[in-house]
Amino acid sequence: MKYGLAIAVVALSASVSAIAAEDEANHCLEAESNQEWAAMAREHHANNTWQRLFALRVGLCAMVKGQQLTVDRASRIFERQRKAAVNKAKTRAPAPSNGKL
């Protein structure tokens, strides 16, 4: 379970950011991005780390929509938390049995 989360969180780090920089599209408004996040939240429903990132995304998107935060600031907040989750998952993930990545 923990190894699966590590893979999912690392995959998240390679995926499109939840909230784009100001000069890019606001992914909070993209149906495909929202569906992808909802699917991942369902898949990892028992994992608090994943649920925390999903809840943060939902809340930041709401604040951007309500003009309480800029897209840029929301993106920086989310990315800081996402990177922390990725780093934590990497340190918890067991090393591959053959010693190779």
| pLDDT tens for each residue of 33-81 | 899 999 998 999 899 998 999 999 999 999 999 999 999 999 999 999 9
Q: Is pLDDT of 14 > 50?
A: no
Q: How confident is the model at residue 26 (pLDDT cuts 50, 70, 90)?
A: confident
**Residue closest to 74 by CA, chosen among 60, 87, 88, 93:** 60
Question: For residue 10, what are the contacts with CB-CB under 8 A and spacing of at least 6?
Answer: 86, 89, 90
Structure tokens at 37: 């996040």
Residue 17, pLDDT > 60, answer: no
pTM for the whole thing? 0.69
Task: Indicate the range of 3-17, 49-63, 87-101 predicted with least confidence.
Answer: 3-17
Reported for 28-32, long-range contacts at CB under 8 A and 24+ positions apart, including other chains, are 28/57, 28/60, 28/61, 28/64, 28/65
* pLDDT, position 60: 95
Decide: residue 35, CB within 10 A, 0-12 exposed, 13-18 middle, 19+ buried. Answer: exposed
